[in-house]
Chain A
Amino acid sequence: MVFPLSNGTDSTIHMRVEFVGASHTRLLFSSIFVGRSSSLHHLSSSDDACNDAAAAILNDIADSDKPDLCYAETLKLLAINLPLTQLQTTPEHTHPDNDSLILLKRSQAPDAVSPKAHSHLVNFHKNMEIQDFSDDIDVKVKKYQRGESADLEGLKDKKLKGQLANREELYKKSANAAAKAEKWLMQTESGLLEPEGIEKTWRFSQQSIAQEVDVASRKNQFDIILPDLGPYTIDYTSSGRYMLTAGRKGHLAIMDMHTLKPVKDFQVRETVRDAVFLHNELFFAAAQKKYTYIYNRAGTELHCLKEHGAVLKLQFLKNHFLLSSINKSSHLRYQDITTGQIVGNYRTALGRSDVLQLNPYNSVITSGHSGGTVCMWKPTTSTPLIKILCHHGPVTAISFHPNGHLMATSGMDKKIKIWDLRTYKTLQTLPGNAKTLSFSQKGLLAASTGSFTQILQTSDSSNYNRYMIHTMAKGYQINRIQFRPYEDVLGIGHSMGFSSILVPGSGEPNFDSWVANPFETVKERREKEVRVLLDKLPPESVMLDPTKVGNMREVKRKEKKTKAEVEEEKAAAVAAAKNVAVKKKTKGRSKPSKVARKKQEGIENAKRGFVEENEGRDNKKKQKRITEVNELPIALQPFVSKKGK
């Protein structure tokens, strides 16, 4: 039985690699190298890791634009940081490779490094190359290439062909470099439960897990009993560092999950139906009895959002800075929290709904309704983008896989369904009730009803099987479950407080500090806030397939032409009429005057088509009005107001 957790005691020092630009390459690389090697010294169990790291860096350097520049620096660093004894332990590979040759040539430059080190450096490189050929890297490269390149064979335009081929080459290079870097940047593997023999993963209780894991992880198993203030909902910041809990009877609290200390808790003495964090832990919104409020971390009320009405459920679109809510009268609202503008206000017209979930992949908001329908909304259209009939009964919960392709819904019809959002078909229908659902970053699905929680796992994202189960104390009614990002932890908000349990393999083991950093300092947070604000997306950019931005618009139907377009067409038609070649005719018929007249006629004919189109509408209106007057009895006709005419 093994329980490696994603973020356990051997929490590797996460070095962020900043790829800024060619000019900075040298500096950054060297710094990275220092960091990496030192971290390896701290933690490394094997020498291979060190070697690999060095090789990776060298490889990066070889790929970089100005390898000669940074080479000397790096080599020096290498010489300092990695003892030669360690270097010598690597096995010798003889792999004829061009890159290594190049490296050799370049290695003539530095004088500070002994020739011994040189040979080893080359060896690292070879070592690396061999690993590159593994299938693993291919998969990664594919991921970073983001799809196949177009077929350039049939392209006739040679110049374009050349340009595109060039681009593709660059893309490939970039993807390769990224894939290679991934190996060194994302070193932590995700955890898992490994049964031996006839053991079943779902038989492992939290207690047995607790015995196996380290102290830091054990800390994440807790129950906080707050019996007074009703069922709790929970929400995590995107980094998973802070947790917001909201008791139905007015208890709001923020907790730092690293220190397990409350940052702030206070009571609003009012029903709180939902609470979400805004873009960082400093602000959160709470849907209270009558209005929605925005508080800061200190519990100070900053705003009262009256336009939203009595909100049942809140969601925050962090890339767009939109706070979306659905209220009692089932109005879906989007409010831009940076400007305070109400971006969208749409009547769902499908009955009361307290199910609202954000698709993290494309920021499409999904609402579940009592008729069993699930609607997907974007902030700028009044009609739902997609409307799916999911259940024969009210929808109770929705959740989205982080990759955006899977949606899990549960309904009162005692079914949990998993949908493929590319085809809008059910992939799997599971039996059982679920009051709340949650997908983890790694794609585990948690469903809970009553005091019972079930965690499902899949190997191929189509067939979810039971992975773990957890039962709360009897009588506890689970209100909300949510996986904590970047941790193997599932948070549970229930009627008697909130708890958290360990679910190995649920969280993403490697975080990208550009996306979310659990160890963020105040300064980093401030900088990030500015950056994120600068990168704020306009509300209309929410679309089902976000990769479609910048592509060709699909013209589905004949669109009504704009005035400019009509004008353009008219001009073209007139020009065409002017340029009509006159046929040579028998004598007397092609007199210049006649030809001119004919041409003029042609032009006028061309113009007429457009004129009629435009004036036709006006005529219709006029006719209608006239008939209206005529319809009146004669005696009344004089009394028709003249204004109308």
Chain B
Amino acid sequence: MAETKRKKTLASTNSLKRRKGGDKEKNWKKGPHLPNALQKELNSLNPTNRSDEEIHSDEDIDVYEYEENIPEEESKKNRRYDPVDNFEYELPKDFEDEDVASDDDEEEKGDSDEEKHARMLQDITGLPGDAFEGKKKKKDVVVFEAYPESEYNPSRDVLDGDGRITVDDLLNPLHGKPGFSKIRKDVQRMDKKSMSIQPPLPKPQQQKIDRRSAYVYSKKKLHEYEALVKKNREAPTIYFDEDIDVGYSTVGAIAAEFRPRTEFEKKMDSLINGKELSEAHKGDGARLLELNKVSLEDVKERQDRLSKMRNLLFRHELKAKRIKHIKSKTYRRLLKKDKSKATEIEINPEAAKELAEKEEFKRAEERMTLKHKNTSKWAKRIKKRGVDVQDDGTRAAISEQLQQHALLTRKRNSMHDDETSSSDDSTEDDDDISGDEDDASKLKLLENGKNRTLEVLGEDDDDNDMPKSGVLSLPFMVRGQKKKKEAAEEEARLAFQDYDSSLKQLDGDEDFKDSAGGSLSGRKVYGGAQKKQVPQSKKKVKANTDNYFDNTDSEEEEEDDDDDTMDKHGRMTYTQKDVNIDPNILREESEIGHDPLFKSFDDIDKDEGPKIKYEVSLSATNSLKKKRNRKDCNQIKGKKSQVAEVASDIEEHGDDDDEEGGGMVDGMITSGTDYELPSQDDLIRRAFAGDDVEEDFEMSKQEILNEENPEPEKPVLLPGWGQWTHIQKKRGLPSWMLAEHERAKKKRDQDLNRRPDAHLKHVIISQKLDKKAEKLQTKVLPYPFKDKEHFERSNRMPLGPEFNPATTIGSLNRPDVVKKPGVSIKPIKLRKHH
């Protein structure tokens, strides 16, 4: 079968070729070549199978070829096989392989020749090969007609175009129908005027062109927007959707528009807005009661619940009763203990007090009965027999009892802070005082105290000699000590007064005579006199409101002030001893402090009357003494002209003065009785008080400068380094060191020069940064600004309503974008210019 198939294909191809070329080319046969005789025989046997062409071709062969013998079975020699009647080969139904291009060499050869020719023509003419092929070109396709030709299965011819349907074909059936002639005319016209249509451009090119045109168009369109966009961009404020009415947005309004949507909402709605309910509400509300029905089950359930609760309560009661009836002591004790503990934890002051009282009672009882001090019969007996003889248990019992006794009788601070307890706490000195002689003892006590304070005072007065050397002689130590001493003195004096007053009281209480009080000691005159005088003077001041007293008062005050300032001067001048004296300046300057001073003191001298008080003068002398002391100190100190020192001196002194001043307000003090006129030296010093100020200021400025820009250290080598020989010594420090030092110095100078107070001798401008204020200034320029000046200038105007008129305040503070909340911003709409 395979054989036959091949043959068939061969034959068909051959026949095709002949039709095409119509030439006499050799048709090389391939495959198993049959001997001529055999083939002849074959042909004879199957005349329908092969055409004469085959034979013709056979004749053309003049080249010897090996020819294979036909196999026996094919030779049909013996006619062993039945002859086949139907030589037409039928393909199986599922055959599809129609267009298989033959891969036979022979065919290719034939083809190649043809192609060569075509190519040649093409080369010569330059026309496409198709032009020469014309109708000759056929598809090398074998079509097997598997189905009979029909409407649904058009013949090959129809497909290939030989039997093509023309417009006429289509028109023909319409012949005679209305409108036919018109169509035919149209068709004819079209046939006549047929013109060539340009083929469409390739797709990418077409797209490119489209895009370009679209770009140009949109560009043009966009240009229209340009002005609008520019305007918007430059506008300080853009307004969006100004004309949209958002409507009300109150909660009530929104709620009114509520429509139930979900199942639940609908259910609720039906319940709430149900007809029954609304109608029930409409009337007097009586019908509401009808609606208020309760189901039987609910009632039952409630009853059950209540009965259960009642039951539980009853059980609880029973339980409590049972507990109440328990008579076990241990149980009670334990219960009690727990309770007491609880109360203790609570720290209830009342309960605590009660408890304490109970314990107190117990203790008292114990002290009275001595129950636990081996007084019982049993204990006595044991004692009698000897404790050592007893067994361990008994001994332990006895010791326990004793311990309990000790516990109960131990001295304790009672709850009540009464006199007895305080007397317990008092020192041994007062031990001998009995309760009966209370007042007398007090008297004694007071006097004791008074004596002691007096002693201390006396000591203070006497012991004024300061140590001349050692740490204690340092000025600040001296000062400190003095201060301390003063404080102590003051305290002592106060205490003394206290004693006195209380003594007096006692005197009054016991109806002692005044003389008796006086007889207590001669020292009492001091305090007593003072005490009496003070109220008198007070009275005087209050009673006499005439000019005289008032004048003195005010002048005292002034004097005080003047004294104050004078002291400032004085203090300052003590430190400067060697000053060049310019007589002119002296005269001028001395006027300042001098004039008012003298004036006021003159006044005082005049006004000095009977009002000299002991204490005052004492304090005055005190202060004078102090002054002297200080002077001494200063001398020891030498000629230190530290501003700080002076300042501190003034400060202290000021304090003293003011204390007096304060006292004066009470109307007790008139001072300055033993004021000495300042000596010439003092006056000179005072006159030049301010002279050193400049220098000091400069020094302090230098200090600050050094602190901020420390002076570079002088270059030094390690000791012994580079000093071995004279040459090395001569060479001195290495140049790089010197250079560095130089540079550091220069830099420092530059820094100092850069300070704002560099050229102001009398001014120090602090360069310290205030960290807290840092937040008030920016560290970096905010974004759009590139220049500090622009930024700062743009900030210079305040924007508040206090600083700007209403006409501009709005525009000054308007935000960049003004829009209504909740309204979406629509894209820009182009408006035609009007």
Contact = CB atoms under 8 A, between A and B. Distances in A.
A617 interface: no
Interface in B576-596: 588-589, 591-593
Say which size band chain A's interface belongs to. Answer: 35 or more
Nearest to B653: A352
Contacts of B809: 19-22, 174
A264 interface: no
A243 B833 CA distance: 68
Among B545, B773, B779, find the residue whose CB has the most chain A CB atoms closer than 10 A.
Answer: B773
Contacts of A350: 643, 647
A289 interface: yes
B696 interface: yes
Nearest to A413: B690
B99 interface: no
A550 interface: yes
A384 interface: yes
B805 A174 contact: yes
B545 A228 contact: yes
B767 interface: yes
Nearest to A551: B792
A351 B647 contact: yes
Interface in B735-781: 757, 760, 762-770, 772-779, 781
Interface string A224-264: 00011011000000000000000011100000000000000
Nearest to A388: B763
Among B691, B781, B806, B809, find the residue whose CB has the most chain A CB atoms closer than 10 A.
Answer: B806
Given A330-B651, A351-B647, A540-B776, A178 B805 contact: yes
Contact of A328 (B655, B781, B801): B655
A548 interface: yes
Interface string B792-834: 1111111001101111111110000000000000000000000
Among B557, B589, B763, find the residue whose CB has the most chain A CB atoms closer than 10 A.
Answer: B763
A584 interface: no
Interface stretch (A111-119, A390-398, A595-603, A625-633): A390-398
Contact of B550 (A24, A227, A390, A556): A227
Interface string A143-154: 001111111100
Interface string A398-439: 000000000000011110000000001100000001000000
A162 B794 CA distance: 13
Contacts of B776: 540-541, 543, 549-550
A563 to B, nearest CB: 16
B791 interface: yes
B650 A351 contact: yes
Interface string A44-68: 0000000000000000100111000
B806 A174 contact: no
Contacts of A553: 774, 777-779
Contact of A552 (B644, B788, B796): B788
A381 B644 contact: no
A245 to B, nearest CB: 16
Interface residues of B, number: 85
Contact of B766 (A21, A227, A248, A383): A383
A514 B802 contact: yes
Contacts of B778: 550-553
Nearest to B564: A352
B510 interface: no
B807 A177 contact: yes
A64 B773 contact: no
B398 to A, nearest CB: 54
Given A550-B777, A552-B791, A394 B554 contact: no
Give the interface SS of chain B, mostly helix, strand, loop or mixed. helix
Interface in A262-286: 269-271
A65 B811 contact: yes
B807 A63 contact: yes
A447 B595 CA distance: 19
A19 B805 contact: yes
B789 interface: yes
B784 interface: yes
A389 interface: yes
Contacts of B557: 230-231, 248, 495
Given A228-B545, A328-B651, A393 B690 contact: yes
B689 interface: yes
A540 B770 contact: yes
Contact of B806 (A64, A310, A392, A556): A64
B697 interface: yes
B768 A150 contact: no
Interface string A506-535: 000000001000000000000000000000
B238 to A, nearest CB: 13
A162 B816 CA distance: 14
Contacts of A551: 777-778, 791-792, 795
Interface stretch (B201-209, B284-292, B387-395, B658-666): B658-666
B654 A328 contact: yes
A495 B558 contact: yes
Nearest to A64: B807
Contacts of A177: 804-805, 807-808
A206 interface: no
B565 interface: yes
Interface string A3-22: 00000000000000111111
A328 B658 contact: yes
Contact of B805 (A164, A181, A385): A181
Give the top 8 A-B pairs by smallest Cβ distance, nearest first: A392-B690, A19-B806, A22-B810, A351-B647, A150-B793, A174-B808, A393-B690, A553-B777
5 contacts: A171-B797, A378-B773, A391-B690, A393-B592, A552-B779
